[in-house]
Amino acid sequence: MAEIMVFDGAATAGSFVANHIVDALGRAPGFTLGGATGSTPSPVYEALGAHAARGVDFSSMFAFALDEYVGLPAAHPQCYHTVIERAVTLPLGLEPERVHVPDGSADDIETAGERYEEELTAHGGVDLQLLGIGTTGHIGFNEPGSSFGSLTRVKTLTERTRADNARFFASPDDVPIHCVTQGLGTILRARHLVLLAFGKGKAAAIAAAVEGPVTASLPGSAIQLHPHVTVVLDEAAASELSFLDYYRWAQDNKPAWQGI
Ligand code: F6R
């Protein structure tokens, strides 16, 4: 069972997670953050940026992104390499060599996933993986049907995900069809998973991922197989959870020593 935490809004939730990351980095220089993109992790990145602006030193941190679109040039504002640079690398003052994103523009795209797995393994993996969830239940870009053992590889986005992400592009047709994404097996190797979701539009996917059957049809349900998961929600995203009263009770009575 994951630990479910419900906050009064995305900003409060983002500050909570950012504070935990700053503490973890303080305890273990060389801490490796697994970065997600999309709109969900923005409050975490903004709160981390505020810590950096107040003088917290992130220079010993490493980051590995979850995924990248195939075929978007680096100059495109939605190329995830560029998104991570804007949200993480620059505001936190990380050396670019410490930040890794799958290569979606490689000529030999068919082996880009293997190379990313090698980078991750040589580095020693991810300490804390931030995750968002798609309305299809995807984590990373592991759409329904993804194997729980899957590693980083090229995947095809669903039409639903392309429509959901069209808000970031000038035209819906500009949303790439393919991506390179960490697999569910890759994600499950991270030492701590922090799944965030905000808004009513995520409530069904969260209820299915947290309380539904573990099934490849709802890739986010893979979190139920991981021993250390924190699910960070606002009220709207938590609204379809059957055991919400219990999760609130546990949060209200959380021992101070426990951390997440
Ligand atoms: C992006 C990613 C995706 C998103 C998901 C939710 O790196 O891994 O799983 O987290 O599509 O996207 P938003 O946050 O934009 O709703």
Q: How confident is the model at residue 127 (pLDDT cuts 50, 70, 90)?
A: very high
The tens digit of pLDDT for each residue in 242-259 reads 999 999 999 999 999 999
Interval 202-213: pLDDT, tens:
999 999 999 999
151/131 Cα distance (integer angstroms): 16
CA 71 / ligand 1 centre spacing (Å):
18
Using the atom order of ligand 1, give the atom closest to the CA of residue 161. 11
**48-69 mean pLDDT:** 98
Judged by DSSP in three states, 88 sits in helix
Q: How far apart are CA 99 and CA 240, in angstroms?
A: 36
Residue whose Cα lies nearest atom 8 of ligand 1: it is 140
Beta bridge partner(s), residue 234: 7
Hunting for tokens 């995203």 — which residue is that? 237
Question: What is the best residue among 39, 135, 141, 221 to mutate for testing ligand 1's pocket, by most ligand atoms within 8 Å of CB?
Answer: 141
Pocket of ligand 1 (CB under 6 A): 36-40, 66-67, 132-134, 138-141
Mean pLDDT, the chain, whole residue set: 97
Ligand 1 pocket test, pick from 33, 130, 133 with the greatest ligand atom count within 8 Å of Cβ, gives 133
Residue 1 pLDDT class (50, 70, 90 cuts): low
Return d(Cα 163, Cα 143) in angstroms, integer: 14
DSSP line for 191-207: SEEEEEE-SGGGHHHHH
Residue 41: Cβ within 10 Å count: 23
Atom of ligand 1 nearest to the CA of 138: 9
Minimal CA–CA distance to 102: which of 49, 138, 66, 127?
A: 66
Which pLDDT tens digit goes with each residue over 85-107? 999 999 999 999 999 999 999 99
End-to-end Cα, the chain, rounded Å: 13
pLDDT (mean) for 28-43: 97
Cα torsion 58, 62, 67, 68: sign: positive
- Measured CA to CA, the distance from residue 147 to residue 124 in angstroms comes to 23
| Strand, coil or helix: 219 | helix
- pLDDT (tens digit per residue) in 158-193: 999 999 999 999 999 999 999 999 999 999 999 999
pLDDT of residue 208: 98
Predicted model pTM: 0.98
Alpha helices in the chain (DSSP H): 10-27, 42-53, 80-84, 90-92, 112-123, 159-165, 184-189, 203-211, 235-238, 244-252
| Nearest residue (CA) to ligand 1, atom 4 | 132
Over residues 8-29, the pLDDT tens digits come to: 999 999 999 999 999 999 999 9
Q: How far is the CA of 64 from the centre of ligand 1 (A)?
A: 15
